[in-house]
Amino acid sequence: MVQGRKMKMILLLILQIVMAATAANVTYDHRALVIDGKRKVLISGSIHYPRSTPEMWPDLIQKSKDGGLDVIETYVFWSGHEPEKNKYNFEGRYDLVKFVKLVEEAGLYVHLRIGPYVCAEWNYGGFPVWLHFVPGIKFRTDNEPFKEEMQRFTTKIVDLMKQEKLYASQGGPIILSQIENEYGNINSAYGTAAKSYIKWSASMALSLDTGVPWNMCQQADAPDPMINTCNGFYCDQFTPNSNNKPKMWTENWSGWFLGFGDPSPYRPVEDLAFAVARFYQRGGTFQNYYMYHGGTNFDRTSGGPLISTSYDYDAPIDEYGLLRQPKWGHLRDLHKAIKLCEDALIATDPTITSLGSNLEAAVYKTSSGSCAAFLANVGTKSDATVTFNGKSYHLPAWSVSILPDCKNVAFNTAKINSATESTAFTRQSLKPDGGSSAELGSQWSYIKEPTGISKSDAFLKPGLLEQINTTADKSDYLWYSLRMDIKGDETFLDEGSKAVLHIESLGQVVYAFINGKLAGSGHGKQKISLDIPINLVAGKNTIDLLSVTVGLANYGAFFDLVGAGITGPVTLKSAKGGSSIDLASQQWTYQVGLKGEDSGLATVESSEWVSKSPLPTKQPLIWYKTTFDAPSGSEPVAIDFTGTGKGIAWVNGQSIGRYWPTSIAGNGGCTDSCDYRGSYRANKCLKNCGKPSQTLYHVPRSWLKPSGNTLVLFEEMGGDPTQISFGTKQTGSNLCLMVSQSHPPPVDTWTSDSKISNRNITRPVLSLKCPVSTQVISSIKFASFGTPQGTCGSFTHGHCNSSRSLSLVQKACIGSRSCNIEVSTRVFGEPCRGVVKSLAVEASCS
């Protein structure tokens, strides 16, 4: 007995020793986060766990690690974890513990941004909508009911993390947590209460005793010891509010989010790399890509108004989990180059000197002889040649060169050594036997959703109701229905003239049905104003207005109160002018949600499905259903909704989100070749103008069975579901790269110990590697050493070209998965003296 107890005590002691050995002490100082006494240079990237599936997480995390990340940053999504008050969900895509543990297993750290306000283009900024109905509540200010709820949820998350021993102080991977989010951007709107709210948030967070530091982003007045951090496209000019805090960048936007009705934003990697290098050049030691993998807004999680279902973000890993090249590869090289400077970076502040107009050197030099330098050309127009420590360096406009030994260039942000890899969708028919999708009509069944009021829980109310207050966001849909009597002598019935129904709504979509027929519709972010010519009949008429939200607002002061839905005025005017009737103040009947939603058509069996032909198409308000076999292979799957209008779709009962292929991007502002030089803005580089904002919708592989999958959609506006097709996304077979004689040699030729010299590769190298391990380079479509022009897919020869280009590249590459070719006259001969030459290659793998 005594022996047993002794054994137990000894075991406990051993356990404590082991624990103490693995627990990390995380603090910070002026230079950096300090982990176990050592300052760290950290590269971080955001992956939001509910925007992919647990099946995807290990691969995403591994690709992040391979890309040179040390930290994965994620928000915590309150609305997903507590969909109803006190009913928690930590399952599936919301299995936060599993996500954090997977990051830990990969050997990476976690930055946990609890918020619990997160913005994030997430519905209602991450707040559960029930929060809005807590009596007396005022969001994000010094308000007791709000603070109570915020504290309760924050504590819940911290406790969960502690229970699972996930803080670094307990041996886990979490080295940093965030409270609130960018409150400093909007706090002036909250008056004096803002200050006390921020103080309270800080002390509440600190009281939770996580054992690791906390940050507040975009919060210049963050109280000590909270680290105030920067968010933006550039943060090199940022300084924290105390000399005892490190310079940290929590959101470096790798692209931008897409909205329905908008063209697709992209951010050139040369500019992104420039921003990162400038940050480390000017004393930063932690930066995070927002997003590193953007993912998908499944279900009704997308924020608003009008955020699209895709949250690709032009991130280094694309929505489907494939590497976006050369973005991912160029940033990996950048991270290597920065890490080669780590010893010098953490030792000291940089000494910054001017090398001429728009030219700047930063030198980190230690007493022990380590030296790292960053040379920048922040000019937007002209390349420069600078002299630094007696050597001359070529610096393209808007670029930074990194010299880990203060002599040799390991990396320049504008000189890409990674090949462009295309990705492409391959169409596959829905039909198991591969027949054309046009034949699919017979395999579809349908149910008509009634127009107007059909549910028993409909209710009457005088006047127009705001939508979020009415639906509590249980559904996107709210019916506003009115019955009215028109006497025969009213002007609305004048021969040849129509009445005009005038509707004003806060958004985001309105359909107006008159006597059961769709008469008009419109959409808008926060204001819709419609004048719809309508035909009324003598006697009874019904006006049924369907108002649809597309993501609740997530950003701005008082975003929770902007509201949605038809708040009026609503009037009926005679087309000839003259009299007008106010309808807003009348007695309306309301129905929250759809009949088909109540009967669970998306998830449960129903005998109501009609499979008789003809299948009704191009009619509003129809539920459709079909079964299909999964596209073959293991590649990521997408549904192309072209042919349909707008709605929500489910695969095997899982909501893949809102689809809206008829939402067309505006015509202005697009460019295929955006100049990366000069300050980036969210609307600087756009593509896809005049085309549907989003036609392809991700269906995670793990939601599919080989055969017998169910697809259900609710089509609001009218479309033809038989036109739907499936695609699988592949890394394409094309590789392209252009490397000049002035490019640095591959950063991989540096190792931290051979940093100073002994590098036998001193010339630039063009490296190609087929992305799929079973493939080899099978043909060289283009090769020119000289002055080739153009970009991938459209390379052409310039006036100067080595006649050996093609045969040499073929010889070096064909039949191998990868090849490396030195870019020099030693290899290709001298086709034209006195010119800096480049080698451009387009190859294909099979």
DSSP run (H or E) holding 15 = helix 2-22
Q: Which residues contact 401 (CB under 8 A, 6 or more apart)?
A: 374, 375, 376, 393, 395, 409, 411, 412, 413, 744
What is the 3 state secondary structure string of 315-373?
CCECCCCCECECHHHHHHHHHHHHHHCHHHHHHCCCEEEEEECCEEEEEEECCCCCEEE
List the one residue out of 635, 611, 825 whose CA is nearest residue 729.
Answer: 635
Catalytic residue among 182, 342, 449, 716: 182
CA distance 59 to 323: 11
CA distance 572 to 583: 7
Residue 732 backbone phi and psi in degrees, to 5: -70, 175
What's the gap between Cα 805 and its chain centre?
41
Active site residue 251: yes
Count residues near ligand GAL (CB under 6 A). 9
DSSP letters along 683-721, please? TTSEE-TTSBS--EEEE-GGG--SS-EEEEEEESS---G
Q: Which residues of 667-677 are buried (b: 16+ CB within 10 A; e: fewer)?
A: eeebeeebebb
Q: Least Å distance between CB 234 and ligand GAL?
A: 14
- The residue from 231, 413, 767, 805 that contacts ligand GAL (CB under 6 A) is 231
Pairing of strands 214-217, 227-232: parallel
* Nearest residue to ligand GAL, scored by beta-carbon proximity: 119
Active site residue 164: no
Nearer of residues 125 and 507 to ligand GAL, judged by Cβ = 125
Q: Least Å distance between CB 273 and ligand GAL?
A: 20
Please report, as residue ranges, which positions from 111 to 140 form the binding site for ligand GAL (by CB under 6 A).
Answer: 118-121
Nearer of residues 472 and 557 to ligand GAL, judged by Cβ = 557
List the one residue out of 332, 323, 425, 309 whose CA is nearest residue 59.
Answer: 323
Q: Indicate the residue type of 598.
A: D
CA distance 328 to 68: 10
Name the DSSP letter for residue 381.
Answer: S
522 burial level (CB within 10 Å; 0-12, 13-18, 19+): middle
Place of tokens 């009299």: 579
Instruction: Tell whether residue 142 is a contact of ligand GAL (CB under 6 A).
Output: no
Q: Least Å distance between CB 315 and ligand GAL?
A: 11
Nearer of residues 210 and 554 to ligand GAL, judged by Cβ = 554
Detail the DSSP E strand segments found in 413-458.
420-428, 445-448
Q: Least Å distance between CB 82 and ligand GAL?
A: 19
CA distance 233 to 244: 25
Catalytic residue among 82, 121, 251, 319: 251
Token pair for 486: 């028109």
Residue positions counted in the chain: 846
CA distance 686 to 221: 35
CA distance 740 to 786: 9
Beta bridge pairs of residue 108: none
Angle between helices 269-281 and 327-340 (to 10 degrees): 20
How far, in Å, are 266, 268, 685, 780, 791 from residue 672 at the CA level? 10, 11, 8, 25, 11
**CA angle in degrees (0–180, nearest 5) for 371-375-377:** 175
Beta bridge pairs of residue 351: 363
Please report, as residue ranges, which positions from 169 to 228 form the binding site for ligand GAL (by CB under 6 A).
Answer: 181-182
Please report, as residue ranges, which positions from 252 to 271 form the binding site for ligand GAL (by CB under 6 A).
Answer: 257
Please report, as residue ranges, which positions from 767 to 826 form the binding site for ligand GAL (by CB under 6 A).
Answer: none
Q: Which residues of 238-268 are buried (b: 16+ CB within 10 A; e: fewer)?
A: bebbeeebbbbbbbbbbbbbbbbbbbbbbbb
Pairing of strands 686-687, 264-265: antiparallel
Nearer of residues 119 and 227 to ligand GAL, judged by Cβ = 119
Task: Please identify every residue annotated as catalytic.
Answer: 182, 251
Which stretches of the chain bind ligand GAL, using CB under 6 A? 118-121, 181-182, 231, 251, 257
